[in-house]
Amino acid sequence: MSRSAAAESSSSLHFFLAARRSELHGLEHLQAICELVTNVCQLVHVLQKERGYSNLYLSRRHQPHHPLLGELQEQSQHKDLLLRRLLERMDKELTEGADRARLLNCIACALYRLEGLQPLRWQIRECRTSTDEAGREFTRLIGSLLSVVFEAADSALDADITHSLVALFNFMQGKELSGQERALGVMGYMAGHFNQDFQQQLRTLTDAQTRSFALFNQHAPTAVLPAWDDVQHYTEQVQRLRAIALNTRPGDLLDHGLAEVWFELCTLRIDAMHKVEHALASHIEVQCQQKIDAARLEMDNHQLQLHRLKDKADTHGNSARIFNIQTRPFDLPVQDGITEELERSMLDILQEQQLLIQTRDDALLQAKRALDERKDIEKAKWLLVKHHHLTEAAAHDRLQRAAMENGISLADVAHQFLEQLAKQKGTDKPARP
Round to whole Å and give the CA distance between 372 and 117: 31
What Rg do the C-alpha atoms of the chain give, in angstroms?
28
Query: Which one, 125 or 193, has the nearer CB to a second copy?
Result: 125
- 315 scored as a contact of a second copy (CB under 8 A): no
- 192 scored as a contact of a second copy (CB under 8 A): no
Stretch near a second copy under the rule CB under 8 A, chosen from 10-18, 53-61, 204-212, 258-266: 10-18
Minimum gap (Å) between residue 341 Cβ and a second copy: 14
Round to whole Å and give the CA distance between 164 and 180: 24
Round to whole Å and give the CA distance between 406 and 389: 24
- 319 scored as a contact of a second copy (CB under 8 A): no
- 123 scored as a contact of a second copy (CB under 8 A): yes
Query: Which one, 96 or 197, has the nearer CB to a second copy?
Result: 96
Q: Under a CB-based contact definition with an 8 Å cutoff, are residues 76 and 50 in contact?
A: yes
Stretch near a second copy under the rule CB under 8 A, chosen from 117-125, 186-194, 246-254, 261-269: 117-125
- 6 scored as a contact of a second copy (CB under 8 A): yes
- 289 scored as a contact of a second copy (CB under 8 A): no
Q: Under a CB-based contact definition with an 8 Å cutoff, are residues 27 and 158 in contact?
A: yes
Round to whole Å and give the CA distance between 161 and 157: 8
Round to whole Å and give the CA distance between 141 and 119: 14
- 364 scored as a contact of a second copy (CB under 8 A): no
- 320 scored as a contact of a second copy (CB under 8 A): no
Query: Which one, 39 or 178, has the nearer CB to a second copy?
Result: 39
- 318 scored as a contact of a second copy (CB under 8 A): no
Q: Under a CB-based contact definition with an 8 Å cutoff, are residues 305 and 352 in contact?
A: no
Minimum gap (Å) between residue 147 Cβ and a second copy: 9
Taking the CB of residue 17, how many other CB atoms lie within 10 A of it?
Answer: 15
**Exactly one of 4, 78, 122, 293 binds a second copy (CB under 8 A); which one?**
122
- 357 scored as a contact of a second copy (CB under 8 A): yes
Query: Which one, 241 or 320, has the nearer CB to a second copy?
Result: 320
- 275 scored as a contact of a second copy (CB under 8 A): no
Name which of residues 194 to 213 contact a second copy (CB under 8 A).
Answer: none
Name which of residues 231 to 270 contact a second copy (CB under 8 A).
Answer: none
Stretch near a second copy under the rule CB under 8 A, chosen from 15-23, 203-211, 236-244, 408-416: 15-23
Minimum gap (Å) between residue 329 Cβ and a second copy: 9
- 426 scored as a contact of a second copy (CB under 8 A): no
* Nearest-5° Cα angle at 213, 211 to 215: 70
- 78 scored as a contact of a second copy (CB under 8 A): no
- 367 scored as a contact of a second copy (CB under 8 A): yes
- 153 scored as a contact of a second copy (CB under 8 A): no
Round to whole Å and give the CA distance between 206 and 212: 10
Crossing angle (nearest 10°) for helices 337-368 and 159-191: 10
Taking the CB of residue 288, how many other CB atoms lie within 10 A of it?
Answer: 23
Minimum gap (Å) between residue 172 Cβ and a second copy: 18
Name which of residues 32 to 61 contact a second copy (CB under 8 A).
Answer: none
Round to whole Å and give the CA distance between 189 and 244: 10
**Exactly one of 290, 305, 326, 420 binds a second copy (CB under 8 A); which one?**
326
Minimum gap (Å) between residue 95 Cβ and a second copy: 4
Query: Which one, 146 or 254, has the nearer CB to a second copy?
Result: 146
Name which of residues 128 to 147 contact a second copy (CB under 8 A).
Answer: 128
Q: What binding mask, one character per residue, do residues 387-406 give for a second copy by CB under 8 A, x or -? A: -----x--------------
Stretch near a second copy under the rule CB under 8 A, chosen from 6-14, 39-47, 274-282, 407-415: 6-14
- 70 scored as a contact of a second copy (CB under 8 A): no
